[in-house]
Amino acid sequence: MVETRAPERATNKGPGRLLIAVYIIFAIAATSRAGLQIATKFDEAPVAYLLSALAALIYIVAAVGLARAGHTGRRVALACCSVELVGVVGVGILSLADRALFPDETVWSGFGSGYGYVPLVLPVLGLYWLWRTRHDA
């Protein structure tokens, strides 16, 4: 007997388009910030600036994964949103516990407070959207 499942709903339709747009905006913002910081003052806070570059890369890959909408795209987006959530919570806690660890802010410092806490909310929304658009078992 062949088991059939309902098809997955596309992650790039409806509210998913808005989510992808926000990821693209944050990819541009984080890339610009990290690029400028790395080019002009890398020696002041290399870890912070490299974390911002990592955040930018994750935003780019997450946007692509959500936009592709297939099985592979969903897995990529799931991995990115998960890493992003762990990163923003981890860096958020560390940046508040010991300010010396990050002499300059990263995208994820203070749980993304410099960006209106969107970096904290974005992976939660991404994970929720991936869950919401999953196939019905």
| pLDDT given for residue 124 in this prediction | 98
Kindly tell me if the per-residue pLDDT of 7 is higher than 80.
no
The two structure tokens encoding residue 76: 């990529």
How far apart CA 107 and CA 8 sit, in angstroms, is 32
Alpha-carbon dihedral sign for residues 42, 48, 53, 56: negative
Q: What's the CA gap between 66 and 78, in Å, rounded?
A: 9
Average pLDDT along the chain? 90
Q: Report CA Rg, the chain.
A: 17
- Quick one: which of 103, 78, 23, 20 has its CA closest to 55? 23
Q: Is the pLDDT of residue 104 over 70?
A: yes
> What one-character-per-residue DSSP string does 27-40 give?
HHHHHHHHHHHHHH
Count of CB atoms situated within 10 Å of the CB of 129: 21
- pLDDT tens per residue across span 34-75: 999 999 999 999 999 999 999 999 999 999 999 998 899 999
* 8 secondary structure, DSSP code: P
Alpha helix segments (H runs only) across 2-137: 15-41, 46-68, 71-97, 118-132
- Entry pTM: 0.87
Instruction: Find, among 135, 26, 29, the residue nearest to 81 by Cα.
Output: 26
Neighbour-count burial of 37, counting CB atoms closer than 10 A to its CB (0-12 exposed, 13-18 middle, 19+ buried): buried
